Amino acid sequence: MSARIAIAGAGLSGAVLARQLAENSAHCIVVFDERSHIGGNCHTERDPATGILLHTYGPHIFHTDREDIWRYVGRFAEFMPFLNRVKAVTPRGVFPIPVNLLTLNQFFGRTFNPAEARAFLATRCDRGAGEARNFEELALQQFGRELYETFFYGYTKKQWGCEPRDLPASILARMPLRFNYDDAYYNSRFQGIPRDGYTPLIRAILDHPSIELRLGESLTRAARGDFHHLFFSGPIDAWFQHSLGRLRYRTVHFQRLEGEGDLQGNPVLNYTDENVPYTRVHEHKHFAPWEQHQRSVAFQEFSKATEAGDSPYYPVRLLDDKKLFSSYRNLAAEEKGVSFLGRLGTYRYLNMDQVIAEALDFSRETLQAWSDNRPAPSFPHAMGNSVLS
Ligand code: UDP
């Protein structure tokens, strides 16, 4: 049987799902995006003024431990090796971040080896408190007060718009602490950036005769009747017209800087001081060191709460938000003929490789359900059953 299937969102989730359904069924897949371009927040484009490849919604460095996912993206684009090496500009100087042996030795003015650094840091840490209940407690346990205040307090307050003690410890758990001189931002086995950016990668994923693309068009509940099934990768609360209230997201906005040569000498500098209004500055030609450009473009990145019209980036996921999400999740379970996926559809912070892995799994779950004459599941199985996960 051939039916019309709709997917809302031409970002990574929507594109990977569309491709898998197109390759493995006889259905016609119509992909909608309310923006005028594909790629979602991974979208990249050439700057008309300088020709530099810009990561329009902020820097994206692809990293994964999974060889199958690395191979999957390699099918559609050539990836260039790229290790993100970030420096933190602090009131006490400039240091490599994540905190590593060079950070520790320079910050404390010492020449420790790994074992000495570990023992020294232990004397600075607050180890009495038992299991950390929030970001701040975990930071004090792992890094001690001086490092916490210099590298994490101000940055986190700016990024999330609240006190770090009000955030879950899991946010800090994303950051490595290393007692060697490895200064790469991520630990993943495979890391890179597509030679020509993410938009050609996603264009190649969507390039299939059974996929029809409709840009500048949003898909609403009213369109349900036109399709056999509909997949929604936009914000789940928007699908339900925010009927239960708005889920909170952080968004970012950018201030452009342009000049000759090298503006800051590195792809990303984090500004950890609370009194500097932006969180970081990214200079985009440094994300494509295989290209030559005389001019340069950089962006100061500011973080704020999402208001009407802003693009949602990071789900806030504090307790109240998770409760509200679980109410939307119950509504979604009642919604016939519609599934939700992706970072915004499932209200979780997912890296690009996780988004791809989940879309691949979800397409298999969906195809299996259809072949058993069952409806597609409402959410990816990988999301788990815990409403507060
Ligand atoms: N963080 C910080 N200082 C830094 C970099 C990160 O305090 O220089 C904190 C911040 O709260 C951030 C968290 O560590 O949300 C995790 O860092 P990551 O780079 O994973 O942030 P994200 O990908 O969420 O932007």
Summarize the confidence of residues 183-192 as an average pLDDT: 97
The pLDDT mean for the chain works out to 95
Q: What is the pLDDT of residues 271-296, one digit of tens each?
A: 999 999 999 999 999 999 999 999 99
Residue nearest to atom 20 of ligand 1 (CA): 174
Angle in degrees, CA 203, 367, 364, rounded to 5 = 70
Q: With a 6 A CB cut-off, is 142 part of the ligand 1 pocket? A: no
Identity of the amino acid at 93: G
Summarize the confidence of residues 104-127 as an average pLDDT: 96
Q: 331 and 369 in contact (C-beta within 8 Å)?
A: no
User: Which pLDDT score is estimated for 383?
Assistant: 80
Instruction: For residues 358 and 350, give the distance between their C-alpha atoms in angstroms, rounded to a whole number.
Output: 10
CA end-to-end distance (rounded Å), the chain: 37
The pTM assigned to this predicted structure is: 0.96
User: Which pLDDT score is estimated for 58?
Assistant: 97
Instruction: For residues 38 and 44, give the distance between their C-alpha atoms in angstroms, rounded to a whole number.
Output: 9
User: Which pLDDT score is estimated for 242?
Assistant: 95
Burial (CB < 10 A; 0-12, 13-18, 19+), residue 300, is middle
User: Which pLDDT score is estimated for 78?
Assistant: 98
Summarize the confidence of residues 240-265 as an average pLDDT: 97
Instruction: For residues 214 and 206, give the distance between their C-alpha atoms in angstroms, rounded to a whole number.
Output: 12
- Do strands 44-46 and 53-55 pair parallel, antiparallel, or not at all (unpaired)? antiparallel
Pocket test for ligand 1, best of 60, 62, 142, 156 (most atoms within 8 A of CB): 156
CA of 245 to the centre of ligand 1 (A): 28
- Lowest mean per-residue pLDDT among 66-80, 144-158, 230-244, 303-317: 303-317
Pocket test for ligand 1, best of 159, 301, 318, 355 (most atoms within 8 A of CB): 159
Summarize the confidence of residues 50-71 as an average pLDDT: 98
Q: With a 6 A CB cut-off, is 316 part of the ligand 1 pocket? A: no
Instruction: For residues 84 and 329, give the distance between their C-alpha atoms in angstroms, rounded to a whole number.
Output: 36
pLDDT category at 330 given cuts 50, 70, 90 is: very high
Instruction: For residues 145 and 148, give the distance between their C-alpha atoms in angstroms, rounded to a whole number.
Output: 5
Q: With a 6 A CB cut-off, is 94 part of the ligand 1 pocket? A: no
What is the percent of the chain where pLDDT is above 90?
Answer: 91
Widest Cα–Cα separation across the chain: 70
Q: With a 6 A CB cut-off, is 152 part of the ligand 1 pocket? A: yes
Angle in degrees, CA 333, 339, 342, rounded to 5 = 115
> What domains are there in the chain, each with its CATH number?
4-43+196-244+315-383 (3.40.50.720), 100-173 (no CATH)
Q: With a 6 A CB cut-off, is 151 part of the ligand 1 pocket? A: yes
Residue nearest to atom 11 of ligand 1 (CA): 156
Q: With a 6 A CB cut-off, is 186 part of the ligand 1 pocket? A: no
Q: With a 6 A CB cut-off, is 175 part of the ligand 1 pocket? A: yes
Q: With a 6 A CB cut-off, is 271 part of the ligand 1 pocket? A: no
Summarize the confidence of residues 18-33 as an average pLDDT: 98
> Residue 136: is its pLDDT beyond 90?
yes
pLDDT category at 129 given cuts 50, 70, 90 is: low
User: Which pLDDT score is estimated for 220?
Assistant: 86
pLDDT category at 127 given cuts 50, 70, 90 is: confident
pLDDT category at 384 given cuts 50, 70, 90 is: low
Q: With a 6 A CB cut-off, is 155 part of the ligand 1 pocket? A: yes
Pocket test for ligand 1, best of 150, 152, 167, 280 (most atoms within 8 A of CB): 152
> Residue 118: is its pLDDT beyond 50?
yes
More confident residue, 102 or 311: 102
Pocket test for ligand 1, best of 103, 107, 155 (most atoms within 8 A of CB): 155
pLDDT category at 386 given cuts 50, 70, 90 is: very low
Q: With a 6 A CB cut-off, is 270 part of the ligand 1 pocket? A: yes
Q: With a 6 A CB cut-off, is 171 part of the ligand 1 pocket? A: yes
